[in-house]
Amino acid sequence: MRRLYSGGWVVTCDDAGTEHPSGWVLVEDGWIAAVGAGEEPAADERVDLGGAVVTPGLVNTHHHLYQTLTRARAQQADLFTWLRELYPVWAGIDAEAEYAAARAGLAELALSGCTTVFDHHYVFPRGRDGLIEAEVQAARELGVRIVAARGSMDLGASDGGLPPDELVEDVDAVLADTERIVAELHEPGAGALVQIAVAPCSPFSVTRRLMKESAELARRLELPLHTHLAETHEEEAYCRELHGCTPVEYLADLGWLAGDVWCAHCVHLSEGDIDAFASSGTGVAHCPTSNLRLGAGVAPVPDLVGAGVRVGLGVDGSASNERSDLLLEVKQALLVARGRGGPGAMTAREALRLGTRGGAAVLGRDDIGSLEAGKCADLAVWRTDVLELGGAEDPVAGLVLSAPHRVDRLVVGGEEIVRGGALVQADEAEVARAHRAQARRFAT
């Protein structure tokens, strides 16, 4: 089955940054067969895009889907205060709530043009099984590609950690459960719809032993490694007190500065830290809205990109960025870069690249993130005849600068999962209703 998407402004995000103002994308059996302009290839089906912009599907590199259940809490708190208020609420999570939360969060992301979602789940109350399985099921039903992290916390308050003792786990149990989930769910190789990552939560909620043994496990199973890092000044002070060094020095000591690792936030990095990330190949998930919402600061993204660091974008959890809209995050990345470094700090196309190619690189995926022959057929189609794009002679810059927008059509592995701005495989109103019913269980 060959389907031709034609008559669109095709933004390939290939190495050369090629765009075809009147171009086409040929999709065959879930993969991109060809991209171009001019004479169209033969196809079984032809879809006229009517001048819409076509971009690679966006790639989200940091999230906590369960947090859609607890939005707009601790509204003016810093990170540690916010976490202390929310940990006891999150202790109520179970598979039913996780499923509803994931459906809502993934639906919202899909409608913002996101085809691949990384989720970092690290709250595992005792006796509540099936949490990762629930979010993977939600992703499969909606048709979104997911990289689900088996996160973890093992440093409770009584040992000097931030989370309450009832939310931390035993190291051996974490590692055994991670291996079990990998065996059950992880798909290796190009085109994978479900992958698993290993992700101990943060320097202030995880022991050295769990950090080290998580890395050993991930490297044995060839899985990517992820954690939170250098988000706030408070975290740095905590790290100095607990470990006697900065968060980045701590990571280096653990063998975590490496090409199979990416870290969320990285707001507070020195020039030396940026060099260490660049020389080791360590990646960064930039989450500008969450960092602004918690007053944490702004990551030095143009400096990171300039040094050659892999950088992707993340909406982060919905309790610290109440909106799971990745195109909005593309715009936000541009705005915070300019707020910090002036109008020349980042172009609209550079921001879009962070949300596509950058995200794919951060997740260690070379099968997604650009529109090129041989890549997964993951496409986002954006209408240009909407109110907010009128007068935008450059529709690509207009798309970013006037974001957010609801995606018109979203294709994942050749399957259309959004059409006409609506979910194809779920009823949006029903997803929202089911989510509200579960969220009521977490009311205080």
- Applying CB under 5 A, the residues found at the interface with Zn ion are 316
How far apart are alpha carbons 126 and 382 in whole angstroms?
44
Cβ closest to Zn ion, residue 86 vs residue 418: 86
- Residue 171 CB, nearest approach to Zn ion (Å): 21
- Residue 230 CB, nearest approach to Zn ion (Å): 12
**For 272-365, where are the E strands, in sequence order?**
283-286, 311-313
Residue 433 contacts by C-beta under 8 Å, 6 or more apart in sequence? Answer: none
Cβ closest to Zn ion, residue 54 vs residue 123: 123
Cβ closest to Zn ion, residue 154 vs residue 231: 231
The H or E element spanning position 290 is helix 288-293
Instruction: Write the DSSP symbol of residue 225.
Output: E
Enter the tokens of residue 403. 């974001």
Cβ closest to Zn ion, residue 6 vs residue 232: 232
DSSP string, 170-215: -HHHHHHHHHHHHHHH---STT-SEEEEEEE--TTTS-HHHHHHHH
Cβ closest to Zn ion, residue 71 vs residue 349: 71
Cβ closest to Zn ion, residue 299 vs residue 434: 299
- Residue 317 CB, nearest approach to Zn ion (Å): 5
Cβ closest to Zn ion, residue 293 vs residue 375: 293
Enter the tokens of residue 61. 């590199």
Enter the tokens of residue 65. 């889907």
By 3-state DSSP, what share of the chain in percent is helix, strand and coil, each rounded to 5? Answer: 40, 20, 40
- Residue 390 CB, nearest approach to Zn ion (Å): 37
What Å distances lie between residue 343 and 336, 338, 340, CA to CA?
10, 5, 9
Cβ closest to Zn ion, residue 169 vs residue 316: 316
Helix 131-142 with 171-185: angle, nearest 10 deg = 30
Cβ–Cβ contacts within 10 Å for residue 72, how many? Answer: 8
φ/ψ of residue 167, rounded to 5: -100, 0
Cα 269-273-274 angle, rounded to 5 deg:
85
Q: Are 162 and 204 in contact (CB under 8 A)?
A: yes
Q: Are 160 and 153 in contact (CB under 8 A)?
A: no
Cβ closest to Zn ion, residue 316 vs residue 408: 316
